[in-house]
Structure 1
Amino acid sequence: MDSQELRFVASRIRRRDLQAVFEAGAGHVGGEMSVIDILTCLYFNELSVDPAAPLDPERDRLVLSKGHTALALYVVLAERGFLPRDEISTFLKHRSRLNGHPNRVYLPGVETNTGPLGHGLPVAVGMAKAAKLDDRSWRTFVIVGDGEMQEGSNWEAIMAAAQFRLDNLTLIIDHNRLQQGARLSETNDLAPFRPKLEAFGWHVEDIDGHDHSQICHAVSTATGTPGKPKCVVANTNKGHGISFMSDNVAWHHKVPDESQYRQAMAELMETGE
């Protein structure tokens, strides 16, 4: 897809995500809005995956380490054909496959269970190392939140990935500058990320995490350094696309009321056309 087509798809995904949060009365809509453009570019432009064969041994792997934004992943998977689109209406309902955090036992396309922060990158390092050991060409991508980067397990994984020369691994940091209850700068300010990752031996790119052309270029095999794992620092806005949610810490897991829902949906319709 070209950038315009990706923008249309991302807008449709945002609207469906917002609707599901509103109907379920729960969700993490702010972080979902910030990560949707990244997920859209990966699933509709870059990842080698097949909804008809979700366990194909040669598939690329995507780990959503910031598992609290599972709904964004569910909607993307539904758009890509891994599950029926109408199943999104079951989000958080009794016996639904669509839990608040991804579960690989229930849902095709989910590579590993996530939720407890700081676990996704270590798992992804193991996946990438396995591909190297087996001399396979498939790649591993992992998306983490910037607040999640405060977890020490991530930095151990970063060291290991550099030591193992995992150039088949791409770490994407959803750098929206906000975490639950506070700004990153008010808790443990790790920014800027680029010099830190470069010091550990990674290839690093800073991009606009809502510019589809920049995202697609950064995650492609056209960029990178042989023998080095890649990190893409995607500068995003929490609540992107919705004026009263954008860059607002209150919308980590707040649910819009009916008036807010109508306004948000109207804004997303306007920007998506």
Structure 2
Amino acid sequence: MKTAADDSRIHGDDSRTLGYEDLPRLMGLMTGDEKHGPAATSTLDVLWVLYDRVLRVTPERSQDPVRDRFLLSKGHGPMAYYAVLAAKGFVPVEWLPGFGAYDSPLGHHPDRVLVPGAEIGSGSLGHGLPIAVGTALGLRAQGLREPGVWVLIGDAELDEGSNHEAIAFAGPAGLDRLHTVVIDNSSAGHARPGGIAARFEAAGWSAVTVDGRDHEALYAAFTAPHPGRPHVVIARVEPKNG
């Protein structure tokens, strides 16, 4: 049974930090016909572990040049992303019920000029990884070696040729501050077992495949050393179509 304490916590008027256990309720505040539910829920655990334990970025550091950059390429169905941003204080919880409304900053695809903490506008398949490669190159050119660049993509995005070019370039370029997380929910049209990791490894990447719901396995994979090479984590979750 939901209590008054639940309501106050979800709407941000108490002092307790929102946690993983609050995410389902935060996502439940977002309604509408274009929710892309499976696309959203497939990313939930990966997003939480990244923002809770890995990424060096906070609302106060969202413009810091040495912050980590997180790029959500899998931008269709961003409910889990918005829920995590709200839990971590980047966006007000009060924005969530307006998800998808014409006057809401929380659109069906994230907009970097409207959503605090969003590094790119996304949703069109195949754009995020090439942008992440360019971001890593730009930071290197500026002499900024500390920031990590993280990009979250879906396995179906790997059907797009732009990603093949990005993968092929990043390995030989030695972009060791570049990290890709692939949500594998069996959506790709040209997939084969083990093919995602093999594709990256053939291009000189470090690759790990893990259970995308296991927080400890995700954390270990995210923090695994990969000197001189970009790193990819394939997070396997339940199939999109059940």
- Does residue 25 of structure 2 align to residue 15 of structure 1? yes
- Does residue 85 of structure 2 align to residue 77 of structure 1? yes
User: What displacement does 1:55 show?
Assistant: 1.3
TM-score after normalising by structure 2: 0.87
How does 1:1-273 map onto structure 2 within 5 Å?
A: 9-20=19-30, 23-136=31-144, 137-178=146-187, 184=188, 187-192=189-194, 193-220=196-223, 223-237=224-238, 247=239, 249=241
User: What displacement does 1:131 show?
Assistant: 1.8
Contact 1:65 1:143 (C-alpha < 8 Å) held by counterparts:
yes
User: What displacement does 1:197 show?
Assistant: 1.1
SS in 2 for 1:69: coil
Determine the C-alpha separation between the residues in 1 that align with 2:24 and 2:167: 31
Letter in 2 for 1:141: W
SS in 2 for 1:81: coil
More contact order relative to length (CA 8 Å, sep ≥ 6): 1
SS in 1 for 2:168: helix
1:45-91 alpha-carbon deviations (Å, 9 max, x no partner): 11011202311111101111011022211111111001111210110
SS in 2 for 1:62: strand
Contact 1:204 1:233 (C-alpha < 8 Å) held by counterparts:
yes
1:156-177 alpha-carbon deviations (Å, 9 max, x no partner): 0011111210010111000111
Contact 2:68 2:149 (C-alpha < 8 Å) held by counterparts:
yes
1:132-191 alpha-carbon deviations (Å, 9 max, x no partner): 22221100000110111110100100111112100101110001113xxxxx3xx32244
Contact 1:14 1:33 (C-alpha < 8 Å) held by counterparts:
no
TM-score after normalising by structure 1: 0.78
Determine the C-alpha separation between the residues in 1 that align with 2:21 and 2:32: 20
Letter in 1 for 2:27: D
SS in 2 for 1:170: strand
Determine the C-alpha separation between the residues in 1 that align with 2:65 and 2:36: 32
1:197-217 alpha-carbon deviations (Å, 9 max, x no partner): 111100000111110011111
Identity %, equivalent residues = 35
Determine the C-alpha separation between the residues in 2 that align with 1:14 and 1:208: 20
Contact 1:166 1:229 (C-alpha < 8 Å) held by counterparts:
yes
Determine the C-alpha separation between the residues in 1 that align with 2:169 and 2:22: 38
Contact 1:34 1:236 (C-alpha < 8 Å) held by counterparts:
yes
Q: Which moved more, 1:63-72 or 1:96-105?
A: 63-72
Gap regions ≥5 residues in structure 2: 1-17
Determine the C-alpha separation between the residues in 2 that align with 1:41 and 1:154: 24
Aligned residues: 223
Letter in 2 for 1:58: V
SS in 2 for 1:68: coil
Runs of 4+ aligned residues of structure 1 deviating over 6 Å after TM superposition are none
Contact 2:29 2:96 (C-alpha < 8 Å) held by counterparts:
no
Determine the C-alpha separation between the residues in 1 that align with 2:65 and 2:101: 32
